[in-house]
Amino acid sequence: MYAIVEIAGHQYKVQKDQRIYVNRLQGNEGDKVSFDRVLLTDDNGKVEVGAPVIEGVAVNATILEHLKADKVIIFKKKRRKGYRVKNGHRQAITSIKIEGIGKGTAKKAAAKVEATEAAPAAEKKTAAKKPAAKKAAPKKEGDAAKKPAAKKAAPKKTEE
């Protein structure tokens, strides 16, 4: 059985007990993570395709380690100008091991997410509201008559 799952903005084909490298994930080494954005599953020829995701299916994994990928060299040059710049960087990645692909596990993960989202919502309701902004005082009729006068054009200079 395999599944195509979206992890950190990328799509991966995963199987049970597979080790893959993904963009850096939140969490510590040894933490369990669940990915509920499963796009396709194949169980011995029985293919199920989501539109866009399959509801009730999740991929469970364990974070093995956080590390950096191989260095990528960026070299820029302009001919005959003496311009050469060499830069490089190492992308932060996470190694994870796929524990299983299953139905029903996404419901548990979704329930946890809903519970954590409900707690901050309750805090927002109990928080004190900010005082209302002061309303602008109505303008008096005499204020309209005191508009600043338009600047007069400077007299043109004539050459004599």
Q: What is the 3-state secondary structure (H, E, C) of the chain?
A: CEEEEEECCEEEEEECCCEEEEECCCCCCCCEEEECCEEEEEECCEEEECCCCCCCEEEEEEEEEEEEEEEEEEEEEECCCCEEEEEEEEEEEEEEEEEEEEECHHHHHHHHHHHHHHHHHHHHHHCCCCCCCCCCCCCCHHHHHCCCCCCCCCCCCCCC
Examine residue 85 and state whether it is found in any structural domain, yes or no: yes
pTM, 2 dp: 0.59
Tell me what pLDDT residue 158 has.
Answer: 74
Res 23 pLDDT > 80: yes
Res 75 pLDDT > 70: yes
- Domain range for 14: 2-108
Examine residue 58 and state whether it is found in any structural domain, yes or no: yes
Which carries the bigger pLDDT value, residue 105 or residue 156?
A: 156
Examine residue 129 and state whether it is found in any structural domain, yes or no: no
Examine residue 61 and state whether it is found in any structural domain, yes or no: yes
Examine residue 157 and state whether it is found in any structural domain, yes or no: no
> How many structural domains is the chain composed of?
1
